[in-house]
Amino acid sequence: MAAIATNARSQIRHSAAARLDRLPIGSFQKRIMWLIAYVYFFELGDLNNFGFVAPELRVQWGMSISTVGLVTSSAFLGMFVGAISGGWISDRIGRKKALLLTTVCFSVFSLLNACAWNVTGLLVSRFLTGIGLSAMTVVAITYITEMFPANKRGAYQAWVMVIGLFGIPLSALVAGELIPRATYGWRFVFAFGGLAILLPLFSGMLEESPRWFETQGRDAEADAVLDRIEARSMRDSGSTKLPPPGPEPTATLHRKFSDLFSATYLPRTLMLVGVFIFQTLGLFGFMAWVPTLLAARGFPVSKSLLWVCLMYFGAPVGALIAVAISDRWERKYLIAISAVVIGAFGVMYGLSTGMIPIIILGFCVAMFIQTFAPLLYAYTPECFPTEIRNSGSGVAYGAGRLANGFGPLLIAFLFTHYGYKSVFVYIALTWLMVAIIVTVFGPKTKGRTLA
How far apart are the C-alpha atoms of 339 and 281, rounded to whole Å?
Answer: 12
| Dist CA 339 CA 282 (whole Å) | 10
Considering the entire predicted model, what is its pTM?
0.74
CA-CA-CA-CA torsion sign (138, 144, 147, 150): negative
Per residue in 331-384, pLDDT (tens digit) is 899 999 999 999 888 888 777 766 777 778 888 888 898 898 888 888 888 888
Residue 432 confidence (pLDDT) above 90? yes
Percent of the chain with pLDDT over 70: 88
Distance CA 18, CA 84 (A): 29
Structure confidence by residue, pLDDT tens digits, 178-192: 887 778 888 888 888
**Domains with residue ranges and CATH for the chain:** 2-236+257-441 (1.20.1250.20)
What pLDDT, in 10s, does the model give residues 9-26?
Answer: 445 777 777 788 888 888
**Interval 380-421: pLDDT, tens:** 888 888 777 878 888 888 888 787 767 777 877 887 788 777
Mean pLDDT score across all residues of the chain? 81
pLDDT at 179: 82
Model confidence band, residue 435 (pLDDT cutoffs 50, 70, 90)? very high
**Under 8 Å between Cβ of 158 and 34:** no
